[in-house]
Amino acid sequence: MKKIIIAIDGFSSCGKSTMAKALARNVGYLYFDSGAMYRAVTLFCMRNGLITNGNIDVEALRARMNEIHITFKADPVSGNSITMLNNEDVEHDIRSLEVSKMVSQVATLDFVRSEMIEQQREMGKSKGIVMDGRDIGTTVFPNAEMKVFVTASAEVRAQRRYDELTARGDQPNYNEILENVQQRDHIDQTREISPLKKADDALLLDNSNMTREEQMNWLIEMFNKLTKEC
């Protein structure tokens, strides 16, 4: 069967990554988390003093972009994808609320986006991938054969992120998370380059009231339909 590109875009914390990972496993495709790449760039900034009081030293980051190498490795036990920043496993550190607070600002920078997009296109060269993010179906792979745009209410998304952070041992504050979700929605939708928006040919999926199983059945049905047409 011909391999396709599956682009999954949508608002923050609506379960895109979990869904994209599970879909990739089900159909035997590789999974790529584009948000993790922007998070890794943000972590690099934080560790190297390129962010002070919420302000990014844009010129210093531009000059140091060539020092940032992001790759993905499969966890030998779980098979999950691990984000590597300059060969170091940063999967845990990039998910902190500190990184979440700065990542959308870093992701508005044109030179950061162009570099990430180039690497993302390289990852999709042989097709057979699922990639999730904000601009995958609109900018990175405008010709992707399957595009899904996911959404859920801000409150449902904040609760999911709260549960996720609690499960990993953090002690999050729900209101702070809700505020962060709303703030990122705003930055992502209003930025000049590649703003978050549904591609005209993307399938809309509101999963506020859907179980993971219902969601997966829906995705597989769409996948089977589209690959039959290819």
Which residues bind to ligand CDP, rule: CB under 6 A? 12-13, 16-17, 34-35, 38-39, 103-104, 107, 133-136, 184, 188
Cβ-Cβ contacts under 8 Å for 174 (sequence gap 6 or more): 158, 159, 162
Q: What are phi and psi of 31, to 5 degrees?
A: -110, 135
What does DSSP assign to residue 140?
I
Question: In this structure, are residues 2 and 227 in contact, taking their beta carbons and an 8 Å threshold?
Answer: yes
In the complex, minimum distance from the CB of residue 226 to ligand CDP, in angstroms, rounded to a whole number:
22
In the complex, minimum distance from the CB of residue 76 to ligand CDP, in angstroms, rounded to a whole number:
23
Residue with the CB atom nearest ligand CDP in the bound state: 35
What does DSSP assign to residue 202?
P
Token duo for residue 75:
């966890």
In the complex, minimum distance from the CB of residue 27 to ligand CDP, in angstroms, rounded to a whole number:
21
Which is nearer to ligand CDP, 113 or 223 (by Cβ)?
A: 113
Question: In this structure, are residues 50 and 61 in contact, taking their beta carbons and an 8 Å threshold?
Answer: yes
Which is nearer to ligand CDP, 105 or 145 (by Cβ)?
A: 105
In the complex, minimum distance from the CB of residue 31 to ligand CDP, in angstroms, rounded to a whole number:
13
Token duo for residue 173:
């504050």
**How buried is 129 (Cβ within 10 angstroms: 0-12 exposed, 13-18 middle, 19+ buried)?**
buried
* Span between the terminal Cα atoms of the chain, in Å: 9
In the complex, minimum distance from the CB of residue 224 to ligand CDP, in angstroms, rounded to a whole number:
26
Which is nearer to ligand CDP, 104 or 151 (by Cβ)?
A: 104
Residue with tokens 């999926």: 205
Which is nearer to ligand CDP, 27 or 177 (by Cβ)?
A: 177
In the complex, minimum distance from the CB of residue 45 to ligand CDP, in angstroms, rounded to a whole number:
13
Which is nearer to ligand CDP, 92 or 225 (by Cβ)?
A: 92
Which is nearer to ligand CDP, 91 or 135 (by Cβ)?
A: 135
